[in-house]
Amino acid sequence: MTREVRHLIGGERVGTPTAVRENPARPGETVAVSAAADTDLAGLAVAAAQSAQPAWAATPAPARGSILTEAAALLLARADQVATDLTREEGKTLAEARGEVRRAVDILRFFGGEGWRANGQTLPSSLPDTFVYTKREPVGVVATITPWNFPIAIPAWKIAPALVSGNAVVLKPAELTPVSVWHLSEALREAGLPPGVLNVVYGDGAVAGRALVEDPRVGAVSFTGSVEVGQLIHAAVSARRARVQLEMGGKNPLVVLDDADPARAARIAAAGGYGLTGQACTATSRVICTPGIHDAFVDALLAEAARYQPGDGQSPGTLMGPVASAEQLAVDRSYLRIAADQGGQVLAGGAEPDGLRQSAAVVVDVKPDHRIATEEVFGPVIAVLRADDLDGAVAVANAVPFGLAAGIVTNDLRAAHRFADTVQAGVVKVNRPTSGLDLNVPFGGVKGSSTNTFREQGSVATEFYTWTKSVYMGVD
Protein backbone atom coordinates (compact mmCIF):
# COMPACT_ATOMS: atom_id res chain seq x y z
CA MET A 1 0.00 0.00 0.00
CA THR A 2 1.25 3.45 -0.95
CA ARG A 3 0.01 6.24 1.31
CA GLU A 4 -0.40 9.81 0.10
CA VAL A 5 0.73 12.17 2.85
CA ARG A 6 -0.30 15.82 2.91
CA HIS A 7 0.52 18.65 5.26
CA LEU A 8 -1.80 19.39 8.18
CA ILE A 9 -2.48 23.12 8.43
CA GLY A 10 -5.35 24.63 10.34
CA GLY A 11 -7.00 21.23 10.65
CA GLU A 12 -6.98 20.55 6.89
CA ARG A 13 -4.86 18.23 4.78
CA VAL A 14 -3.27 20.31 2.03
CA GLY A 15 -0.56 20.06 -0.60
CA THR A 16 0.24 17.83 -3.55
CA PRO A 17 2.27 14.70 -2.73
CA THR A 18 5.40 14.52 -4.89
CA ALA A 19 8.24 13.12 -2.75
CA VAL A 20 8.56 9.32 -3.03
CA ARG A 21 9.74 7.16 -0.13
CA GLU A 22 10.70 3.56 -0.86
CA ASN A 23 11.01 0.66 1.56
CA PRO A 24 14.74 0.45 2.41
CA ALA A 25 14.45 -3.34 2.65
CA ARG A 26 12.60 -3.74 -0.66
CA PRO A 27 13.92 -1.46 -3.39
CA GLY A 28 11.18 -0.36 -5.77
CA GLU A 29 8.37 -0.74 -3.23
CA THR A 30 6.89 2.71 -2.68
CA VAL A 31 5.71 3.27 0.88
CA ALA A 32 4.56 6.87 0.63
CA VAL A 33 4.36 9.92 -1.55
CA SER A 34 4.43 13.08 0.54
CA ALA A 35 3.96 16.78 -0.01
CA ALA A 36 6.87 19.21 0.31
CA ALA A 37 6.40 22.61 1.93
CA ASP A 38 7.94 25.81 0.67
CA THR A 39 8.64 28.88 2.77
CA ASP A 40 5.19 30.38 2.21
CA LEU A 41 3.39 27.22 3.28
CA ALA A 42 5.53 26.94 6.42
CA GLY A 43 4.48 30.50 7.17
CA LEU A 44 0.82 29.56 6.80
CA ALA A 45 1.34 26.77 9.31
CA VAL A 46 2.82 29.23 11.79
CA ALA A 47 -0.10 31.60 11.22
CA ALA A 48 -2.58 28.80 11.88
CA ALA A 49 -0.78 27.93 15.11
CA GLN A 50 -0.66 31.55 16.19
CA SER A 51 -4.40 31.94 15.61
CA ALA A 52 -5.34 28.76 17.49
CA GLN A 53 -2.99 29.08 20.46
CA PRO A 54 -4.84 31.60 22.71
CA ALA A 55 -8.04 29.55 22.88
CA TRP A 56 -6.05 26.37 23.44
CA ALA A 57 -4.09 27.98 26.28
CA ALA A 58 -7.38 29.07 27.85
CA THR A 59 -8.63 25.48 27.81
CA PRO A 60 -8.22 23.89 31.26
CA ALA A 61 -5.06 21.81 31.46
CA PRO A 62 -6.94 18.60 32.42
CA ALA A 63 -9.08 18.99 29.30
CA ARG A 64 -5.96 19.42 27.18
CA GLY A 65 -4.52 16.31 28.77
CA SER A 66 -7.66 14.29 28.11
CA ILE A 67 -7.21 14.80 24.37
CA LEU A 68 -3.72 13.33 24.58
CA THR A 69 -5.11 10.38 26.53
CA GLU A 70 -7.80 9.78 23.92
CA ALA A 71 -5.21 10.03 21.13
CA ALA A 72 -3.17 7.38 22.93
CA ALA A 73 -6.16 5.03 22.90
CA LEU A 74 -6.73 5.61 19.19
CA LEU A 75 -3.07 5.01 18.39
CA LEU A 76 -3.04 1.82 20.45
CA ALA A 77 -6.11 0.49 18.63
CA ARG A 78 -4.27 0.72 15.30
CA ALA A 79 -0.79 -0.11 16.63
CA ASP A 80 -0.22 -3.10 14.34
CA GLN A 81 -0.80 -1.05 11.19
CA VAL A 82 1.28 1.85 12.49
CA ALA A 83 4.15 -0.51 13.34
CA THR A 84 4.02 -2.13 9.90
CA ASP A 85 4.11 1.27 8.21
CA LEU A 86 6.98 2.35 10.45
CA THR A 87 9.01 -0.73 9.53
CA ARG A 88 8.30 -0.24 5.84
CA GLU A 89 9.43 3.39 5.79
CA GLU A 90 12.32 3.35 8.31
CA GLY A 91 13.55 -0.25 8.10
CA LYS A 92 13.73 -1.34 11.73
CA THR A 93 12.34 -4.73 12.72
CA LEU A 94 8.67 -5.19 13.46
CA ALA A 95 9.51 -5.94 17.08
CA GLU A 96 11.40 -2.66 17.34
CA ALA A 97 8.62 -0.79 15.54
CA ARG A 98 5.96 -2.22 17.84
CA GLY A 99 8.01 -1.15 20.82
CA GLU A 100 8.34 2.37 19.43
CA VAL A 101 4.62 2.70 18.74
CA ARG A 102 3.85 1.52 22.25
CA ARG A 103 6.33 4.08 23.56
CA ALA A 104 4.47 6.83 21.68
CA VAL A 105 1.20 5.61 23.22
CA ASP A 106 2.70 5.69 26.70
CA ILE A 107 4.16 9.16 26.14
CA LEU A 108 0.74 10.51 25.22
CA ARG A 109 -0.75 8.85 28.29
CA PHE A 110 1.97 10.22 30.55
CA PHE A 111 1.57 13.79 29.41
CA GLY A 112 -2.19 13.40 29.40
CA GLY A 113 -1.80 12.86 33.12
CA GLU A 114 0.45 15.90 33.40
CA GLY A 115 -2.60 18.00 32.62
CA TRP A 116 -3.76 17.22 36.15
CA ARG A 117 -0.38 18.04 37.66
CA ALA A 118 0.38 21.37 36.01
CA ASN A 119 1.33 23.62 38.89
CA GLY A 120 3.48 26.38 40.25
CA GLN A 121 4.57 27.21 43.78
CA THR A 122 3.18 29.10 46.73
CA LEU A 123 5.88 31.08 48.49
CA PRO A 124 6.14 33.26 51.59
CA SER A 125 6.37 37.00 51.11
CA SER A 126 8.38 39.52 53.09
CA LEU A 127 5.42 41.89 52.77
CA PRO A 128 2.46 41.78 55.16
CA ASP A 129 -0.93 40.61 53.88
CA THR A 130 0.63 39.40 50.64
CA PHE A 131 0.14 36.02 49.02
CA VAL A 132 2.78 34.97 46.48
CA TYR A 133 2.50 32.21 43.92
CA THR A 134 4.01 31.22 40.60
CA LYS A 135 2.38 29.75 37.53
CA ARG A 136 3.67 28.28 34.30
CA GLU A 137 2.67 30.07 31.09
CA PRO A 138 2.97 28.58 27.58
CA VAL A 139 5.62 29.98 25.26
CA GLY A 140 3.05 30.33 22.45
CA VAL A 141 3.97 28.90 19.05
CA VAL A 142 6.55 26.11 19.11
CA ALA A 143 8.40 24.50 16.19
CA THR A 144 9.63 20.93 16.53
CA ILE A 145 12.01 19.38 14.01
CA THR A 146 12.43 15.63 14.32
CA PRO A 147 14.68 12.90 12.82
CA TRP A 148 13.91 9.70 10.94
CA ASN A 149 15.36 7.13 13.35
CA PHE A 150 12.47 7.27 15.86
CA PRO A 151 9.79 8.65 13.55
CA ILE A 152 6.85 8.44 15.97
CA ALA A 153 8.40 8.35 19.45
CA ILE A 154 10.51 11.51 19.15
CA PRO A 155 7.67 13.59 17.65
CA ALA A 156 5.43 12.32 20.45
CA TRP A 157 7.87 13.21 23.22
CA LYS A 158 8.30 16.73 21.82
CA ILE A 159 4.73 17.68 20.95
CA ALA A 160 2.98 16.05 23.94
CA PRO A 161 4.57 18.27 26.62
CA ALA A 162 4.21 21.29 24.34
CA LEU A 163 0.51 20.67 23.77
CA VAL A 164 -0.45 19.88 27.36
CA SER A 165 1.31 23.10 28.40
CA GLY A 166 -0.99 25.18 26.18
CA ASN A 167 1.25 25.78 23.17
CA ALA A 168 0.38 25.40 19.51
CA VAL A 169 2.90 23.38 17.50
CA VAL A 170 4.29 23.26 13.99
CA LEU A 171 6.02 19.92 13.48
CA LYS A 172 8.53 19.32 10.67
CA PRO A 173 9.35 15.60 10.54
CA ALA A 174 12.19 14.01 8.59
CA GLU A 175 11.67 13.55 4.86
CA LEU A 176 12.42 9.82 5.03
CA THR A 177 9.58 8.93 7.41
CA PRO A 178 6.36 10.83 6.67
CA VAL A 179 3.82 8.10 7.44
CA SER A 180 4.57 7.63 11.14
CA VAL A 181 3.87 11.29 11.90
CA TRP A 182 0.75 11.11 9.74
CA HIS A 183 -0.57 8.39 12.06
CA LEU A 184 0.30 10.44 15.15
CA SER A 185 -1.32 13.61 13.87
CA GLU A 186 -4.44 11.73 12.75
CA ALA A 187 -4.86 10.22 16.22
CA LEU A 188 -4.63 13.67 17.79
CA ARG A 189 -7.02 15.18 15.27
CA GLU A 190 -9.57 12.41 15.77
CA ALA A 191 -9.20 12.77 19.54
CA GLY A 192 -10.55 16.31 19.30
CA LEU A 193 -7.46 18.51 19.10
CA PRO A 194 -8.74 21.86 17.79
CA PRO A 195 -7.72 22.90 14.26
CA GLY A 196 -4.44 24.76 14.14
CA VAL A 197 -3.16 23.57 17.51
CA LEU A 198 -0.99 20.97 15.76
CA ASN A 199 0.26 21.65 12.25
CA VAL A 200 2.55 19.36 10.27
CA VAL A 201 4.68 20.41 7.32
CA TYR A 202 6.68 17.87 5.33
CA GLY A 203 9.64 18.48 3.09
CA ASP A 204 13.25 19.60 2.95
CA GLY A 205 14.70 20.80 6.23
CA ALA A 206 16.72 23.44 4.40
CA VAL A 207 13.46 24.98 3.16
CA ALA A 208 10.57 24.27 5.53
CA GLY A 209 12.76 23.77 8.59
CA ARG A 210 14.71 26.93 7.98
CA ALA A 211 11.51 28.93 7.52
CA LEU A 212 10.26 27.78 10.91
CA VAL A 213 13.56 28.46 12.65
CA GLU A 214 13.75 32.01 11.30
CA ASP A 215 10.07 32.94 11.79
CA PRO A 216 9.79 35.62 14.53
CA ARG A 217 6.36 34.29 15.51
CA VAL A 218 7.92 31.03 16.70
CA GLY A 219 8.81 31.38 20.37
CA ALA A 220 10.72 28.12 20.82
CA VAL A 221 12.41 25.54 18.61
CA SER A 222 13.11 21.95 19.69
CA PHE A 223 15.41 19.97 17.39
CA THR A 224 16.83 16.46 17.34
CA GLY A 225 19.34 15.67 14.62
CA SER A 226 22.90 16.21 13.47
CA VAL A 227 25.45 18.44 15.15
CA GLU A 228 25.97 20.46 11.97
CA VAL A 229 22.30 21.34 11.55
CA GLY A 230 21.87 21.86 15.28
CA GLN A 231 24.63 24.46 15.34
CA LEU A 232 22.97 26.37 12.51
CA ILE A 233 19.63 26.28 14.30
CA HIS A 234 21.20 27.42 17.56
CA ALA A 235 22.79 30.42 15.89
CA ALA A 236 19.61 31.42 14.06
CA VAL A 237 17.24 31.05 17.00
CA SER A 238 19.58 32.62 19.54
CA ALA A 239 20.11 35.61 17.27
CA ARG A 240 16.44 36.52 17.63
CA ARG A 241 16.45 35.74 21.36
CA ALA A 242 13.98 32.86 21.15
CA ARG A 243 14.24 29.64 23.13
CA VAL A 244 16.10 26.68 21.61
CA GLN A 245 16.53 23.03 22.64
CA LEU A 246 18.96 20.77 20.80
CA GLU A 247 19.62 17.05 21.10
CA MET A 248 22.38 16.05 18.72
CA GLY A 249 25.11 13.48 18.31
CA GLY A 250 26.75 10.92 20.52
CA LYS A 251 29.84 8.71 20.62
CA ASN A 252 28.64 6.53 23.43
CA PRO A 253 31.16 4.35 25.31
CA LEU A 254 30.65 1.06 27.12
CA VAL A 255 33.42 0.24 29.58
CA VAL A 256 34.01 -3.48 30.25
CA LEU A 257 36.09 -4.28 33.32
CA ASP A 258 38.05 -7.48 33.98
CA ASP A 259 35.50 -8.79 36.48
CA ALA A 260 32.66 -8.81 33.94
CA ASP A 261 31.38 -11.94 32.21
CA PRO A 262 32.57 -11.65 28.58
CA ALA A 263 29.46 -13.22 27.06
CA ARG A 264 27.13 -10.99 29.06
CA ALA A 265 29.18 -7.90 28.23
CA ALA A 266 29.05 -8.80 24.53
CA ARG A 267 25.27 -9.23 24.65
CA ILE A 268 24.93 -5.80 26.27
CA ALA A 269 27.26 -4.21 23.72
CA ALA A 270 25.51 -5.85 20.77
CA ALA A 271 22.05 -4.85 21.97
CA GLY A 272 23.24 -1.27 22.33
CA GLY A 273 25.32 -1.14 19.15
CA TYR A 274 23.50 -3.37 16.67
CA GLY A 275 19.92 -3.08 17.86
CA LEU A 276 17.96 -0.54 15.79
CA THR A 277 20.76 -1.02 13.21
CA GLY A 278 22.89 1.25 15.37
CA GLN A 279 20.76 4.17 14.24
CA ALA A 280 20.10 5.63 17.67
CA CYS A 281 21.71 8.66 19.28
CA THR A 282 22.36 6.54 22.39
CA ALA A 283 23.76 3.52 20.51
CA THR A 284 26.97 1.94 21.78
CA SER A 285 29.71 2.90 19.33
CA ARG A 286 32.83 2.37 21.48
CA VAL A 287 33.71 -0.44 23.87
CA ILE A 288 36.67 0.23 26.18
CA CYS A 289 38.13 -2.96 27.68
CA THR A 290 40.64 -3.44 30.46
CA PRO A 291 43.48 -5.91 29.67
CA GLY A 292 42.21 -9.07 31.33
CA ILE A 293 38.95 -9.25 29.39
CA HIS A 294 39.78 -7.72 26.02
CA ASP A 295 40.43 -10.87 23.99
CA ALA A 296 37.57 -12.90 25.48
CA PHE A 297 35.21 -9.99 24.97
CA VAL A 298 36.20 -9.57 21.31
CA ASP A 299 35.58 -13.27 20.67
CA ALA A 300 32.16 -13.03 22.31
CA LEU A 301 31.29 -9.85 20.41
CA LEU A 302 32.18 -11.50 17.10
CA ALA A 303 29.74 -14.29 17.94
CA GLU A 304 27.05 -11.70 18.66
CA ALA A 305 27.80 -9.80 15.45
CA ALA A 306 27.25 -13.01 13.48
CA ARG A 307 23.72 -13.18 14.92
CA TYR A 308 22.83 -9.65 13.79
CA GLN A 309 22.69 -10.29 10.07
CA PRO A 310 20.86 -7.49 8.22
CA GLY A 311 17.52 -8.47 6.75
CA ASP A 312 13.99 -7.36 6.01
CA GLY A 313 12.44 -5.95 9.17
CA GLN A 314 9.09 -7.50 8.25
CA SER A 315 10.56 -11.01 8.11
CA PRO A 316 10.25 -13.17 11.25
CA GLY A 317 13.55 -13.77 12.98
CA THR A 318 15.29 -10.66 11.63
CA LEU A 319 17.33 -9.06 14.43
CA MET A 320 18.59 -6.08 12.45
CA GLY A 321 16.92 -4.21 9.63
CA PRO A 322 18.55 -2.34 6.75
CA VAL A 323 20.13 1.07 6.95
CA ALA A 324 17.53 3.79 6.38
CA SER A 325 19.12 5.39 3.31
CA ALA A 326 21.88 5.10 0.75
CA GLU A 327 23.50 8.18 2.24
CA GLN A 328 23.72 6.59 5.68
CA LEU A 329 25.05 3.34 4.21
CA ALA A 330 27.81 5.29 2.50
CA VAL A 331 28.74 6.87 5.83
CA ASP A 332 28.90 3.48 7.57
CA ARG A 333 31.15 1.99 4.91
CA SER A 334 33.37 5.05 4.65
CA TYR A 335 34.15 4.89 8.38
CA LEU A 336 35.13 1.23 8.11
CA ARG A 337 37.57 2.15 5.34
CA ILE A 338 38.89 5.08 7.39
CA ALA A 339 39.36 2.79 10.39
CA ALA A 340 41.40 0.35 8.34
CA ASP A 341 43.48 3.16 6.85
CA GLN A 342 44.31 4.43 10.36
CA GLY A 343 45.47 1.01 11.57
CA GLY A 344 42.30 -0.60 12.88
CA GLN A 345 41.38 -4.18 12.01
CA VAL A 346 37.85 -4.76 10.71
CA LEU A 347 37.14 -8.25 12.05
CA ALA A 348 33.46 -8.26 11.06
CA GLY A 349 31.24 -6.09 8.89
CA GLY A 350 33.69 -5.46 6.11
CA ALA A 351 31.64 -7.32 3.51
CA GLU A 352 29.19 -5.25 1.49
CA PRO A 353 25.91 -7.15 0.96
CA ASP A 354 23.37 -6.06 -1.62
CA GLY A 355 20.84 -3.32 -0.98
CA LEU A 356 20.85 -0.97 1.98
CA ARG A 357 22.38 -3.55 4.28
CA GLN A 358 25.36 -3.08 6.54
CA SER A 359 26.60 -6.11 8.43
CA ALA A 360 27.28 -5.75 12.14
CA ALA A 361 30.86 -4.52 12.36
CA VAL A 362 33.62 -5.08 14.92
CA VAL A 363 36.78 -2.99 14.66
CA VAL A 364 39.77 -3.66 16.94
CA ASP A 365 43.20 -2.10 17.45
CA VAL A 366 41.47 1.26 17.59
CA LYS A 367 43.29 4.15 19.26
CA PRO A 368 41.50 6.97 21.13
CA ASP A 369 42.45 9.53 18.48
CA HIS A 370 41.21 7.48 15.52
CA ARG A 371 38.25 8.99 13.72
CA ILE A 372 36.12 5.91 14.31
CA ALA A 373 36.70 6.46 18.04
CA THR A 374 35.78 10.15 18.06
CA GLU A 375 33.19 10.79 15.33
CA GLU A 376 29.58 9.63 15.20
CA VAL A 377 28.91 6.91 12.61
CA PHE A 378 25.21 6.19 13.28
CA GLY A 379 25.34 2.61 12.10
CA PRO A 380 25.95 -0.94 13.42
CA VAL A 381 29.65 -0.34 13.97
CA ILE A 382 31.44 -0.99 17.28
CA ALA A 383 35.04 0.10 17.82
CA VAL A 384 36.93 -1.76 20.56
CA LEU A 385 39.61 0.13 22.48
CA ARG A 386 41.94 -0.76 25.35
CA ALA A 387 42.56 0.92 28.71
CA ASP A 388 44.81 -0.05 31.61
CA ASP A 389 42.20 0.35 34.34
CA LEU A 390 38.93 2.08 35.26
CA ASP A 391 40.48 5.55 35.47
CA GLY A 392 42.10 5.08 32.09
CA ALA A 393 38.83 3.85 30.61
CA VAL A 394 36.98 6.91 31.93
CA ALA A 395 39.66 9.16 30.45
CA VAL A 396 39.18 7.51 27.05
CA ALA A 397 35.40 7.67 27.41
CA ASN A 398 35.55 11.41 28.10
CA ALA A 399 38.05 12.22 25.33
CA VAL A 400 35.40 13.04 22.72
CA PRO A 401 33.32 16.15 22.03
CA PHE A 402 30.08 14.32 22.90
CA GLY A 403 28.44 13.38 26.18
CA LEU A 404 25.08 11.74 25.64
CA ALA A 405 25.10 8.17 27.04
CA ALA A 406 27.71 5.94 28.64
CA GLY A 407 27.71 2.49 30.20
CA ILE A 408 29.80 0.09 32.22
CA VAL A 409 29.72 -3.68 32.70
CA THR A 410 31.10 -4.75 36.06
CA ASN A 411 30.26 -6.64 39.25
CA ASP A 412 32.10 -4.08 41.38
CA LEU A 413 29.62 -1.65 42.96
CA ARG A 414 32.37 0.80 43.89
CA ALA A 415 33.63 0.86 40.31
CA ALA A 416 30.10 1.40 39.03
CA HIS A 417 29.59 4.38 41.34
CA ARG A 418 32.99 5.84 40.47
CA PHE A 419 32.17 5.54 36.79
CA ALA A 420 28.78 7.20 37.24
CA ASP A 421 30.41 10.05 39.14
CA THR A 422 33.24 10.73 36.69
CA VAL A 423 32.00 9.94 33.18
CA GLN A 424 30.81 12.95 31.18
CA ALA A 425 27.38 11.87 29.96
CA GLY A 426 23.78 12.85 30.54
CA VAL A 427 22.68 9.20 30.73
CA VAL A 428 24.68 6.52 32.56
CA LYS A 429 23.88 2.80 32.39
CA VAL A 430 25.31 0.07 34.64
CA ASN A 431 25.09 -3.48 33.27
CA ARG A 432 22.54 -2.33 30.69
CA PRO A 433 22.80 -1.27 27.02
CA THR A 434 23.47 2.43 26.45
CA SER A 435 20.35 2.61 24.28
CA GLY A 436 16.87 2.43 25.74
CA LEU A 437 15.22 5.03 27.97
CA ASP A 438 12.35 5.33 30.41
CA LEU A 439 9.81 7.95 29.35
CA ASN A 440 9.37 9.35 32.87
CA VAL A 441 13.09 10.10 33.31
CA PRO A 442 14.82 13.31 32.14
CA PHE A 443 16.88 12.82 28.98
CA GLY A 444 19.65 14.86 27.43
CA GLY A 445 23.39 15.17 27.03
CA VAL A 446 26.32 17.42 27.77
CA LYS A 447 29.14 18.91 25.70
CA GLY A 448 28.43 18.69 21.96
CA SER A 449 25.45 16.37 22.38
CA SER A 450 23.04 18.99 23.66
CA THR A 451 22.40 22.60 24.53
CA ASN A 452 22.43 21.16 28.09
CA THR A 453 19.70 23.51 29.27
CA PHE A 454 16.20 22.04 29.29
CA ARG A 455 15.84 18.26 29.43
CA GLU A 456 13.39 16.20 27.39
CA GLN A 457 11.04 13.51 28.70
CA GLY A 458 9.59 13.12 32.17
CA SER A 459 7.75 15.84 34.03
CA VAL A 460 10.63 18.28 33.49
CA ALA A 461 9.97 18.25 29.72
CA THR A 462 7.26 20.90 30.14
CA GLU A 463 9.82 23.40 31.46
CA PHE A 464 11.15 24.12 27.97
CA TYR A 465 7.67 24.88 26.68
CA THR A 466 6.67 27.20 29.54
CA TRP A 467 7.91 30.25 31.42
CA THR A 468 7.39 31.24 35.04
CA LYS A 469 5.12 34.09 36.09
CA SER A 470 5.37 35.31 39.70
CA VAL A 471 2.21 36.82 41.20
CA TYR A 472 2.09 39.00 44.34
CA MET A 473 -1.48 39.16 45.62
CA GLY A 474 -2.23 41.80 48.26
CA VAL A 475 -5.09 40.63 50.49
CA ASP A 476 -5.53 43.62 52.81
H-run or E-run covering 90: helix 79-90
Neighbours of 471 (CB within 10 A): 10
Give me the amino acid identity at 344: G
Q: Residue 155: in which H helix or E strand, if any?
A: helix 153-164
**DSSP conformation letters of 169-182:** EEEE--TT-HHHHH
3-state helix, strand, coil in the chain (%, to 5): 40, 20, 40
Residue 470's CB is within 10 A of a number of other CB atoms, namely: 11
Active site residue 90: no
Which of these is catalytic: 70, 90, 114, 247? 247
Query: Taking a C-beta distance cutoff of 8 angstroms, is the pair 379, 278 a contact?
Result: yes
Beta-carbon contacts of 1 under 8 Å, excluding residues fewer than 6 positions away, are none
Active-site residue list: 247
